[in-house]
Amino acid sequence: MLKPHEIFARMPSATATGIFAFLHEHQKPLYKATLDSLAKARSVRPVFVERKPRTEQHSWLAEQMHRRHNDGSAAQVLQLWLVGAHKNLLCDFLDGFNISHDENGTVDILPEPPPREELIRVIDSLRARYDASVLAVYLNTFQALDSEGWPTLGALIQEDSTLQLSEA
C-alpha cells in the first residue's frame, strides 16, 4: 500500500501539477498555506516560489510532495482535490457498493471490503467514465488513507497495471 507522498511521486506529472492548478483556482487559502509551509520546510522564503510562473510553482509544489516528511500535506492535498474536483467519482465508487455517503462522497466508517467480483464490476464501470490516471490515483489514495484499506482492493491494484501508479 502506497503512502500519500509515494502516490505523488508515482502519479503522472500532468496529474500532479493539475492538482495544484485546481487548488490555486478553487482553494486559494489552502494553496497559499501549502506553498508557505513547504517553502519554509525547505528553508526557502515563500515569496521566492510565489514569484515563479504559475506552472513552475505547481511543478515545485508537486516535487515537494514526493518527500516522506510531507506525507501529511500530501494526504490533505489529495483528499481536498479528490473531494473538490472528483466527487462524482467518489460518489459513483461508493454507490456501486450501496455505501451511504455525504454529497462529497465521504463516509464516516468504511464497511467491510466487498467481494472481489463486486469490486471488479464497480471498477470496470468506472473505467468507462473516468480518466485512467485519476481513477488510479483515487483507488491508491482510498487505500492509503484508511489504516487497513480493503485487502481485496490492494490485491487488485497489485495485479492490474492500469490501477498502479508507476514511477514518474
pLDDT in tens, 70-88: 999 999 999 999 999 999 9
The pLDDT of residue 30 is above 60? yes
Identify the burial level of 168 via C-beta atoms within 10 angstroms of its C-beta, where 0-12 means exposed, 13-18 middle and 19 or more buried. Answer: middle
pLDDT in tens, 88-119: 999 999 999 999 999 999 998 888 999 999 99
Identify the burial level of 108 via C-beta atoms within 10 angstroms of its C-beta, where 0-12 means exposed, 13-18 middle and 19 or more buried. Answer: exposed
Mean pLDDT rounded to a whole number for the chain: 94
Q: Where are the domains of the chain?
A: 4-85, 87-163
pTM above 0.95, yes or no: no
pLDDT in tens, 34-69: 999 999 999 999 999 999 999 999 999 999 999 999
